[in-house]
């Protein structure tokens, strides 16, 4: 994921998806908005369920030249032909995932609100680091990733950064100058029209 001129949208799937409806919903969002990457953030550990969901979403994403990564399942990322993995344990697994998946795979790391973890992940070979929640959400231990963290990161560190967790139009506006990607998921999928909600959320990005 290259560092963009202005923040791009990094789409995060719901933890459970209905195969009968979600791929179509995902296609509609991808066709109506510029999406940089998709993260399959599926709950549970049933390999068959995850594989079926991943296959369906991969087809939709790759038909539109959008990269797709999966949360934590390094081996599945490889087996299912996905573009990489998003790790939830800060820097701990980055090196091993990079070794397993190779230089061309996307390896990202969620680091809560810790600049130290972010730097460690970057040094271990992460392609991007995600901080959050930026709003009031139950992500991680609830410690918010404040604007000054993103400000400092954007000035000091070259590794691209994702802002995620309980985003609002106000937070998008405030963080736009100092983040590379907005990780957007639950903010839109629980609404009747995810694409319209997404457009409203990021309307000020131009």
Query: Comparing 5 with 32, which gets the higher pLDDT?
Result: 32
Task: Count H helices and E strands in the chain, helices first.
Answer: 9, 8
Going by pLDDT thresholds of 50, 70 and 90, the confidence category of residue 196 is very high
CA–CA distance, 167 with 175 (Å, rounded to integer): 10
CB of 161 closer than 8 Å to CB of 150: yes
CA–CA distance, 76 with 98 (Å, rounded to integer): 14
Percent of the chain with pLDDT over 70: 95
Give the mean pLDDT of 135-146: 79
Q: For residue range 101-122, what is the model confidence (pLDDT) as tens digits? A: 999 999 999 999 999 999 999 9
Return mean pLDDT, the chain: 94
DSSP classification of residue 204: G
Going by pLDDT thresholds of 50, 70 and 90, the confidence category of residue 138 is low
CA–CA distance, 97 with 206 (Å, rounded to integer): 35
Domain ranges of the chain: 8-205
Q: Find the DSSP H helices in 11-131.
A: 22-32, 47-63, 74-79, 94-101, 115-123
Alpha carbons within 13 angstroms on the beta-carbon side of residue 175 total: 33
Q: For residue range 73-85, what is the model confidence (pLDDT) as tens digits? A: 999 999 999 999 9
* pLDDT value at residue 205: 84
Give the mean pLDDT of 144-160: 97
Going by pLDDT thresholds of 50, 70 and 90, the confidence category of residue 1 is low
CATH of 8-205, one of 3.40.50.1100, 3.30.70.260, 3.20.20.70, 3.40.50.300: 3.20.20.70
């Amino acid at each position: 994921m290259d560092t963009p001129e202005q923040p791009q949208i990094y789409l995060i799937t719901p933890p459970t998806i209905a195969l009968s409806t979600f791929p179509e919903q995902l296609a509609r969002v991808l066709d109506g908005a510029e999406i940089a990457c998709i993260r399959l953030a599926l709950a549970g550990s049933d390999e068959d369920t995850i594989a079926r969901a991943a296959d369906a979403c991969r087809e939709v994403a790759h038909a539109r030249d959008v990269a797709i990564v999966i949360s934590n399942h390094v081996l599945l990322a490889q087996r299912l032909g996905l573009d990489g993995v998003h790790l939830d344990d800060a820097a701990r697994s980055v090196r091993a995932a990079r070794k397993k998946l190779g230089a061309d795979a996307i390896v990202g790391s969620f680091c809560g609100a810790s600049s130290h973890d972010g730097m460690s992940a970057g040094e271990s070979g992460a392609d991007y680091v995600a901080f959050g929640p930026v709003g009031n959400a139950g992500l991680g231990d609830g410690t918010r990733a404040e604007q000054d963290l993103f400000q400092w990161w954007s000035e000091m560190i070259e590794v691209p950064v994702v802002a995620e967790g309980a985003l609002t139009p106000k937070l998008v506006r405030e963080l736009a100058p100092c983040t590379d990607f907005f990780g957007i998921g639950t903010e839109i999928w629980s609404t009747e029209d995810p694409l319209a909600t997404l457009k409203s959320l990021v309307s000020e990005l131009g």
